Structures are given as C-alpha cells and as structure tokens.
Structure 1
Amino acid sequence: MSSTTLSRWLRPEVYPLFLAVGTAVGICGMQLIRNISTNPEVRVTKENRAAGILENFEEGEKYAQHGLRKFLRNKSPEIMPTVNDFFSKPN
C-alpha cells in the first residue's frame, strides 16, 4: 500500500466505521459458525446427509432455546426500563 492510501483510510474519522463493520462481520461469522456446528438441520458431512430427515425434537428444542433466549425470556422488552418508568409514571 502506498502512503497516500494509508493516510486516506487510517484517519481517526474512519475508526467508528471500521468498528461498526468489524462488529457486523463478527456477528455474521458467529451466527454462521453456530448454524454450521449446532443446527440439527444442517449436515456438513456426507454420512450425516445420507441419514435423511431425523425426528429428533429434543435437539431442535435445545438449539432453538439457547442460553441468550433463556436469559431474556422473563425480561422486559425495553432498552432502558428505569428511564422509561421515570418519565412515564407520575410520582
């Protein structure tokens, strides 16, 4: 890379852009790896593909009800519930 290309793209103004794009790529990669490694409907090897459709409901339920979903199950669907309560409920 030439010095003009480096000076054009490695300025402090573009760091948030790199951070946002890097975060998005990381989330997509994490989801791809999760689907390939743990999804019961995805079969990568030839032996597993030859098995056909399996009636394994426990494995599907375990995949669908992952740890993050279990953690958020009983939480309020608000980003800042304390702030919302402060501004919406009278004293």
Structure 2
Amino acid sequence: MGGGFRWVRPEVYPLFASVGVAVGICGFQLIRNICGNPEVRVTKENRAAGILENFAEGEKYAEHPLRKFVRTKSPEIMPSLNSFFSDPQ
C-alpha cells in the first residue's frame, strides 16, 4: 500500500490543470472587479453615495494596459503566416 493518490489516474492531470487555470482566471477577475471597478461599492458609505458621474475613473478601469497593447496589434493569430499565404508575391 504505497502513495495516497492511487485513485487519480495520469489521464486526468490535464483536466485538473485546465480547471485550475479557469478557476484562477475567474478568481482574478472577481478580485479585480471588487477592488477596482468604480461601479462596485462594497462599503455602506460608498453605496449610499448613489450613482457617481466619475468618467475618468471608469476610463482608467476600462483602458487597462493589456487592452492598450492589444489595440495596436492585428486581430490575427499568426499574421506573418496569413500574409505569406494570402498576399500576392
């Protein structure tokens, strides 16, 4: 009677990894929304303030560095390979 994980088969390791990554992404997004979203108000004092017209804070939240980086890129997975096969020589 060896190790404690005899019921876990090696075939399910990729499933555990993908579910773990998905849970991590969901957790990151949840924490990002609770801590940084200007429309989410956790404390009672902030909820009592009502609707705030703070467009600068909303713009800062929506225009994060990843979105700014991706905006300048081509919406293709492999642009050099696509241009090699589709553009005339």
Residue number in structure 1 paired with 2:74: 76
Indicate which of 38, 41, 48 corresponds to 1:40.
38
Partner of 2:63: 65
Match of 1:7 in 2: 6
TM, length-normalised to structure 2: 0.88
Structure 1: gaps (5+ residues) = none
Shift of 1:42: 0.1
Q: Which runs of 4+ in 1 moved over 2 A?
A: none
1:87 Cα deviation from its structure 2 partner: 2.0
CA RMSD of the aligned region, Å? 1.6
Q: Distance in 2 between matches of 1:26 and 1:73?
A: 25
User: Counterpart in 2 of 1:89?
Assistant: 87
Corresponding residue pairs, total:
87
The percentage of aligned residue pairs carrying the same residue is 75
Counterpart mapping for 1:14-33 below 5 A: 14-33=12-31
Shift of 1:83: 1.5
Provide structure 2 residue ranges, at least 5 long, that are not aligned to the other structure: none
TM-score normalised to structure 1 length: 0.87
